Structure 1
Amino acid sequence: MDPRPAFERATVQAARLVAEVRPGQYEDPTPCTEFDVRRLVSHLIGATRRFAVLGEGGDALAVEPFADELGDQAFAAGYEDARQSALKAWQDDARLDDEVTVPWGRVPGRAAVAGYVMETVAHSWDLWDALGRPGTLDPELAAIALGTARQVLPEGPRGPQAPFADVTPVPEGSGPYGELAAWLGREPVDVRNRG
């Protein structure tokens, strides 16, 4: 399967959410407990920049995973620039079979793309939740990301070195995003109602 169309769809969805952030929301909490909204958006941009450099054949690990140099007013344009660069960098079909180095190891390009789909979709859910769940999210993207997450992340205890916490229970009726959030160690309950 070519994961690039899913990546493009995931970035369109993320771009919509980044553009919806209002000035008073940047310090709000997110389900990704180490990030407030500002840090989460900064990370979405930084991670997408890394992915673009990876597609260009560069050292993604040398790219800062945050875009803290951007002010809040520049986040939407910064994300759009990063996603367009990433889409362009991965246009060559041959890149899907190249071995590349990502933060989680050395993998074929197509596995790297799938990993960035998972990351983009998961952080889009984090942002959507933090913003009060505006509009709807693409359920097919969640199903794709969940498939990747189940392949690459163990269900059992993950330990402190893992970038995701242990699986949490999935409340009834959570849907594919709730299942993805739970698999990635988040509580799939509106962050504003967590007390």
Structure 2
Amino acid sequence: MTNTLSDLLERAAGRTVPVVCGITDDQLAGPTPCAEYDVRALVDHLFQVVVNFQRLAAKEDSDFGDGARFAGHGDWRTEFAAQTRALAEAWAVPGADEGETGAMSMPAALVGRMALGDLVVHAWDLARATGQEYAPDPGTVTEVRAAFGELAPTARTMGVFGTERELPAGDTPPSDFDRLLALTGRDPRWTRPAPERPAAGG
């Protein structure tokens, strides 16, 4: 199996899209492991990533500040699936992962792996937030860990990553994916808060 960036994006999308499509409208206001995002806002963010990184593959300007509301409007699940396919296709164009792209003139191959990382990590965020199963493709985890290890110092300075979490020692060593989550400041043991029970007699 090849490990071109486009292949990796396609494999990651194959596991992310079912999670997004499995989100029900009544879950959109729920919390996620990203404290600043509820489910709706995180889906909106991930959709922005998928669209804007198509532009970055073409060496075009991106715009992550449009604040578009996506989740809960129209056939948003089908649209997300279509745009993730377009993302993999955009990075399959010859030369997409060569040279530099984006406002910070970063290596295009690294920028493409940022999109890969968002598909992998945010799929876990959304799965945990909505009670779904999610197991990332091991090859994509390896690629994302390498890219995020390079990006982590800058990402923490910019507030994109939290402080790296210390994983608990135990009989079973942490998985590569647990280490990736911890690198971004996430707690791999995060679970949805239990719903509050109404007060007696209320």
TM range (shorter): 0.7 to 0.9
TM-score relative to the length of structure 2: 0.82
Instruction: Give the C-alpha shift of residue 64 in structure 1.
Output: 4.5
Matched letter for residue 129 of structure 1: R
Aligned to 2:39: 37
Counterpart Cα distance in 1 of 2:135 and 2:56: 30
Farther-moved stretch of structure 1 (63-72 vs 120-129): 63-72
Stretches of structure 1 lacking an aligned partner (at least 5 in a row): none
Q: Deviations over 1:152-180 (max 9, x none)?
A: 2139x934x33111101223444222211
Relative to structure 1, the CA distance from residue 15 to residue 59 in structure 2 (aligned partners, 3 Å threshold; closer, same or farther) is same
Counterpart Cα distance in 2 of 1:158 and 1:100: 21
Match runs of 1:1-195 below 5 Å: 2-60=4-62, 62-64=63-65, 67-72=68-73, 74-101=75-102, 105-154=104-153, 158-159=156-157, 161-171=158-168, 172=170, 173=172, 174-192=174-192
Aligned-pair identity in percent equals 24
Relative to structure 1, the CA distance from residue 76 to residue 91 in structure 2 (aligned partners, 3 Å threshold; closer, same or farther) is same
Counterpart Cα distance in 2 of 1:100 and 1:71: 32
Stretches of structure 2 lacking an aligned partner (at least 5 in a row): 196-202
Relative to structure 1, the CA distance from residue 3 to residue 135 in structure 2 (aligned partners, 3 Å threshold; closer, same or farther) is closer
Relative to structure 1, the CA distance from residue 70 to residue 37 in structure 2 (aligned partners, 3 Å threshold; closer, same or farther) is closer
Task: Please state which structure has a larger fraction of its residues in helix.
Answer: 1
Instruction: Give the C-alpha shift of residue 13 in structure 1.
Output: 1.3
Counterpart Cα distance in 1 of 2:18 and 2:150: 28
Instruction: Give the C-alpha shift of residue 139 in structure 1.
Output: 3.2
Counterpart Cα distance in 1 of 2:86 and 2:65: 16
Number of corresponding residues = 190
Q: Which has the larger radius of gyration?
A: 2
Instruction: Give the C-alpha shift of residue 66 in structure 1.
Output: 5.2
TM-score relative to the length of structure 1: 0.84
The alignment yields a C-alpha RMSD, in angstroms, of: 2.6
- Runs of 4 or more, structure 1, over 6 Å off, are none
| Preserved contact between residue 45 and residue 66 of structure 1 (Cα < 8 Å) | no
Farther-moved stretch of structure 1 (29-38 vs 69-78): 69-78
Matched letter for residue 181 of structure 2: A
Q: Deviations over 1:50-105 (max 9, x none)?
A: 01122233211x35465414535522112112212222222222121131015xx2
